[in-house]
């Protein structure tokens, strides 16, 4: 990973206004959340799972390597095409070496859920950024199954996990909305006798529930008497290998989508984008801001709703984005903040505490970067407030990305609209989620160059 490989010098990059509007049709890389889960459930199934459209970013490749270390056969057979020969529920082997998950919090938390109910010991680490991210939120519920963890102070990586020999089924209420914690508990429940349930007070992305059903697990999703949802998985099923077609990642689609909104005269088509209702908070928010985005050719692919998105530039206005929407767009706030800086009026993005514990403290990173570009921005508690004039801010700043791929891409997108270029101090981390970001954006007419 970037910070652990000093031989890889930082790659500064700058974005400037293109000479012409952005235009064209592009296919968005595979959904990162779905890609992680496809590999993991393929490894726990019996038989061969064929995956088409897998995201081949560093985060997902780290998951593939981890599953190989645990005894599954995971092989790339073509561009974005992968094959997984699973070992069945309970069939994972104790790894011979340390498992390094790079920068991926999703991989770490979901894999710990799987390991928690396998009778083996594994040592798990990641890069400097991942080693600072909190794992206590999954360690606490997974310990209830009988798993044992030895961690650094604060429940941080590196850690050792010894899975429960005789796991005990659980009913766990999420203290905060988190698809990763929910998924970790449900995955632990797969190798646990009886029924394991998660009470979800607020709806979060439901890729795990959908994919468990796709592989043949019995999953029930029903309203909870106190509000929210009760998700239950019946333990120790025999998962059957099933083909997976990975939809385009809406979090990745957000960057060319917003670029098209901000560069005057632009019109682009983004094909095959996942529009799972638990992931469409950004589209809902942009609609409230007056964005011209049309869903075309809506369909179901591999159990996930998919559509093509036609995006046209136009004037945007500020909006009040409620805290309840955060679980459906938590990764999109950095790029939404760029829209807010170019819109007319005040945009309030509420309830962003979770942004403080992502790959970086995204809340402060967004605010400091926008201020450096000349935007009017404030952080009040867990709310981000951006007041725009209806035109882009001046730009002309170099942004500290803090090893955060979404901060990096968001400010490059802003630089396509500002009068002066916007530079980022290090573009290497973009490869964790969107390795083709630069060529894809260039194909639409975006202008990026190595900064001096």
Identify whether 331 is a catalytic site residue: yes
As to burial, measured by CB atoms within 10 angstroms (0-12 exposed, 13-18 middle, 19+ buried), residue 37 is: buried
- What is the mean predicted confidence (pLDDT) over 140-147? 98
The domain locations on the chain are 6-30+247-450, 32-245
Would you tell me which CATH number, out of the four given (3.65.10.10, 3.20.20.120, 3.30.40.10, 3.30.360.10), belongs to the domain 6-30+247-450?
3.65.10.10
Q: Is 370 a residue whose pLDDT tops 50?
A: yes
Q: Output the pLDDT for position 8.
A: 57
Q: Is 146 a residue whose pLDDT tops 70?
A: yes
Phi, psi of 26, deg, nearest 5: -135, 150
Query: Under a CB-based contact definition with an 8 Å cutoff, are residues 94 and 121 in contact?
Result: yes
The C-alpha angle with vertex 368 and arms to 362 and 373, in degrees rounded to 5, equals 125
Kindly report, residue by residue over 29-55, the tens digit of the pLDDT.
Answer: 999 999 999 999 999 999 999 999 999
Q: Is 7 a residue whose pLDDT tops 60?
A: no
Q: Output the pLDDT for position 281.
A: 96
Query: Under a CB-based contact definition with an 8 Å cutoff, are residues 424 and 4 in contact?
Result: no
Instruction: Work out the pLDDT band at 433, boundaries 50, 70, 90.
Output: confident
For 244, other C-beta atoms within 10 Å of its C-beta total 29
Q: Is pLDDT larger for residue 405 or for residue 359?
A: 405
Q: Of 11-15, 175-179, 256-260, 409-413, which gets the smallest average pLDDT? A: 175-179
The C-alpha angle with vertex 252 and arms to 247 and 255, in degrees rounded to 5, equals 140
Kindly report, residue by residue over 80-98, the tens digit of the pLDDT.
Answer: 999 999 999 999 999 999 9
Top-level class of domain 32-245: alpha beta
The three-state secondary structure class of 137 is helix
Kindly report, residue by residue over 230-244, the tens digit of the pLDDT.
Answer: 999 999 999 999 999
Query: Does 6-30+247-450 match 32-245 in CATH topology?
Result: yes
Calpha distance 59→106 (Å, rounded): 9
Q: Output the pLDDT for position 302.
A: 65
Q: Output the pLDDT for position 4.
A: 38
- What is the mean predicted confidence (pLDDT) over 137-144? 97
Q: Is pLDDT larger for residue 295 or for residue 358?
A: 295
- What is the mean predicted confidence (pLDDT) over 430-449? 94
For 229, other C-beta atoms within 10 Å of its C-beta total 18
Q: Is 426 a residue whose pLDDT tops 60?
A: yes
Q: Output the pLDDT for position 360.
A: 79
Kindly report, residue by residue over 177-217, the tens digit of the pLDDT.
Answer: 899 999 999 999 999 999 999 999 988 989 999 999 999 99
Q: Output the pLDDT for position 1.
A: 36
Catalytic residue among 206, 249, 331, 426: 331
- Could you tell me the pTM of the whole model? 0.85
- What is the mean predicted confidence (pLDDT) over 5-33? 87
The three-state secondary structure class of 452 is coil
Prior bond to 276 cis, omega within 30? no
Q: Output the pLDDT for position 131.
A: 95
Q: Is 5 a residue whose pLDDT tops 50?
A: no
Instruction: Work out the pLDDT band at 134, boundaries 50, 70, 90.
Output: confident
Q: Report the mean per-residue pLDDT for the chain.
A: 95
The distance from CA 170 to its chain's CA centroid, rounded to whole angstroms, is 26
Kindly report, residue by residue over 278-312, the tens digit of the pLDDT.
Answer: 999 999 999 999 999 999 999 987 678 999 999 99
């Amino acid at each position: 990973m970037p910070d652990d490989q000093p031989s890889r010098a930082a790659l500064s990059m700058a974005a400037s206004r293109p000479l012409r509007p952005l235009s064209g049709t592009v296919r968005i890389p595979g959904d990162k959340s779905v890609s992680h889960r496809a590999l993991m459930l393929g490894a726990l199934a019996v038989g061969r799972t064929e995956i088409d459209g897998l995201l081949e970013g560093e985060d997902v490749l780290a998951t593939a390597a981890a599953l190989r270390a645990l005894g599954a056969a995971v092989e790339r057979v073509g561009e974005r095409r992968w094959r997984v020969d699973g070992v069945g529920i309970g069939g994972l082997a104790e790894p011979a070496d340390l498992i390094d998950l790079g920068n991926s919090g999703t991989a770490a938390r979901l894999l710990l859920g799987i390991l928690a109910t396998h009778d083996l010991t594994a040592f798990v680490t990641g890069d400097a950024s991942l080693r600072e991210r909190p794992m206590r939120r999954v360690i606490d519920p997974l310990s209830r199954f009988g798993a044992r963890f030895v961690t650094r102070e604060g429940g941080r990586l590196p850690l050792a996990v010894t899975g429960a020999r005789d796991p005990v089924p659980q009913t766990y209420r999420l203290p905060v909305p988190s698809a990763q914690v929910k998924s970790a508990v449900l995955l632990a429940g797969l190798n646990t006798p009886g029924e394991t349930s998660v009470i979800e007070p607020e709806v979060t992305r439901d890729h795990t529930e959908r994919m468990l059903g796709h592989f043949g697990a019995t999953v029930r999703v029903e309203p909870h008497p106190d509000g929210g949802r009760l998700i239950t998985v019946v333990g120790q099923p025999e998962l059957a290998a099933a083909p997976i077609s990975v939809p385009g990642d809406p979090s990745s689609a957000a960057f060319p989508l917003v670029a098209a909104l901000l560069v005057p005269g632009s019109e682009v088509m983004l094909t095959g984008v996942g529009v799972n209702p638990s992931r469409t908070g950004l589209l809902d928010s942009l609609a409230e801001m007056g964005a011209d985005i049309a869903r075309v050719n809506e369909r179901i692919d591999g159990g996930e709703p998919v559509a093509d998105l036609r995006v046209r530039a136009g004037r945007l206005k500020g909006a009040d984005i409620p805290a309840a929407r955060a679980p459906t767009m938590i990764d999109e706030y950095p790029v939404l903040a760029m829209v807010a800086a170019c819109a007319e009026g005040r945009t309030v993005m509420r309830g962003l505490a979770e942004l403080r514990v992502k790959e970086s403290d995204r809340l402060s990173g967004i605010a400091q970067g926008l201020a450096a570009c000349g935007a009017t921005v404030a952080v009040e508690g867990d709310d981000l407030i951006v007041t725009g004039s209806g035109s882009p801010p001046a730009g002309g700043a170099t942004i500290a990305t803090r090893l955060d791929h979404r901060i990096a891409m968001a400010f490059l997108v802003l630089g396509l609209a500002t009068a002066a270029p916007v530079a980022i101090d290090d573009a290497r981390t973009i490869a964790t989620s969107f390795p083709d970001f630069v060529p894809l954006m260039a194909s639409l007419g975006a202008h990026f160059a190595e900064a001096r």
